[in-house]
Amino acid sequence: MYIPSFLYFLVIMKKGFTLIELLVTITIFSIVITGILGLFASVFKEQQRNLNLQYLLQNTSYISEYLSRVLRMARKDLAGDCISLKTNYENPDGDSSKIRFLNYQGKCQEFLLENNQIKVKKSKDQSSANLGESYSLTPSGLVVERLKFEISGESQEDNLQPKVTFNFKIKSQKAQPQTLNCQTTISQRGLDVKY
């Protein structure tokens, strides 16, 4: 069998690796692997943070849109069974973390902050005495730290279109908590005419 001269020289001259060569190779390999693993861990951590923020944004958007839609379609209480007579909105007991109104179906409804969750109560009729059990509008993975409803133009005597400004501070409960502040002003859909 013919072996070219340059391979023959390599085979005869080089029979293995020295200990120094092995140590240098292992060290370089370890540094490269450690760098790659560190990069992977930081990318994974950033991905978790982004997913957490996305979850928070999606739920905040849903809550804000739901509150806006329902409050925009509220009706004036002409009987005075749900809230004060001929008003559109009311903070029950003067508590600005609650708002009560007649919804578009003519039923008494209330939004409130309870156990760090935005809750909804609905009545089967126009009466606030029949408000049922509250159910949560926010998922269990989020904490609402603040909820406030500011009402203006709620009565017929002020000659203002009824509007509600609501703001809330919401926070995720994941490993890297994210916090959002949301504020929106809603004007009632129908014109505020005197009855």
Domain residues of the chain, as ranges? 47-187
What pLDDT score does 162 carry?
A: 87
Confidence tier at 167 by pLDDT (50, 70, 90): very high
Write out pLDDT tens, residues 17-57.
788 988 999 999 999 999 999 999 999 988 888 888 899 99
Write out pLDDT tens, residues 88-137.
899 998 999 999 999 989 999 999 999 999 999 999 888 888 888 889 99
Cα torsion 7, 11, 13, 15: sign: positive
Write out pLDDT tens, residues 63-101.
999 999 999 999 888 888 999 888 889 999 899 999 999
Output 73-77 pairs: Cβ under 8 A, ≥24 positions apart.
73/103, 73/104, 73/189, 74/101, 74/102, 74/103, 74/104, 74/162, 74/188, 75/101, 75/102, 75/103, 75/104, 75/106, 75/190, 76/102, 76/156, 76/192, 76/195, 77/101, 77/102, 77/126
DSSP-derived secondary structure letter, 181:
E
What pLDDT score does 48 carry?
A: 86
Report d(CA 115, CA 193) in Å as an integer: 38
pTM higher than the cut 0.85 = no
Output 37-40 pairs: Cβ under 8 A, ≥24 positions apart.
none
Q: Which residues pair with 142 in a beta bridge?
A: 172
